[in-house]
């Protein structure tokens, strides 16, 4: 198994993989720390704070306007 193919990725992590976006690149675009992006991609139970969630979703919607919070998080 390759190190970047983590079978326990969250919905958000799987979406990044499908889009071919590196976690570091997304962190820079969204102005969210790399540690937070890593946690979003690998911890299925993690839900970010509202300001961070807003930054993430604004960046996601620049790439795919149809994505909603419910597509990634069970809120």
Q: Say what the pLDDT of residue 16 is.
A: 93
Dump pLDDT digits (tens) for 53-72.
Answer: 999 999 999 999 999 999 99
All domains of the chain, ordered by start, with CATH? 11-71 (1.10.260.40)
Alpha-carbon torsion, ordered 42, 24, 11, 40, to 10 deg: 50
What's the predicted TM-score (pTM) here? Answer: 0.84
Alpha-carbon distance 40 to 23, whole Å? 10
How many whole angstroms separate alpha carbon 65 and alpha carbon 30?
A: 15
């Amino acid at each position: 198994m390759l190190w970047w193919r983590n079978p326990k990725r969250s919905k958000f992590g799987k979406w990044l993989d499908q889009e071919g976006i590196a976690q570091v690149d997304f962190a820079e675009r969204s102005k969210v720390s790399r540690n937070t992006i890593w946690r979003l991609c690998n911890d299925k139970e993690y839900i970010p704070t509202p300001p961070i969630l807003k930054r993430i979703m604004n960046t996601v919607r620049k790439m795919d306007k149809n994505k909603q919070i419910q597509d990634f998080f069970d809120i």
